[in-house]
Amino acid sequence: MSEFVTGMTFGGTLWTPSYVTDLNQRTCIGCGRCFKVCPREVFDLIEREEALGAEDFDDDYGDFEDDDNTMVMSLKNAADCIGCEACSKVCPKDCFTHQHKLAA
């Protein structure tokens, strides 16, 4: 039977980290909230055109009407993720996918 990696809070409660595995750049608005809250420098802002191509992003909500919003977040160091899920908690567009890791 496989078990997931677990940790323990300071109070002694068992906790299962959920590591970031994907970031949906089509829905990302480049607000930087995840970048600011991440304690491990997992993310980086990059040019939207670099991430998706000039015409390959979704603007169903009119978020990109201004040419000033040309950045999206990318996974810079996914291997440094500690599984706290702070990025998902602050993301207004629900851009993140997380996954538990099986213990070795």
Q: Who has greater pLDDT, 53 or 80? A: 80
The domain in which residue 52 lies consists of 22-78+89-98
Judge whether 57 lies within some domain: yes
CA dist 71 and 36 (Å) reads 15
> Could you tell me if residue 6 is inside a domain?
no
The answer to whether the CB of 99 falls within 8 A of the CB of 22 is no
**19-78 per-position pLDDT tens digit:** 999 999 999 999 999 999 999 999 999 998 888 775 554 555 555 554 455 899 999 999
pTM: 0.78
| 11 lies in some domain | no
Please report, for residues 27, 33, 43, the alpha-carbon distance to residue 89 in angstroms, rounded to integers and kept in the order given: 16, 10, 15
Looking at the structure of the chain, the number of domains it has is 1
What would the mean pLDDT of 86-95 be, rounded to a whole number?
97
Residue with tokens 């994907």: 22
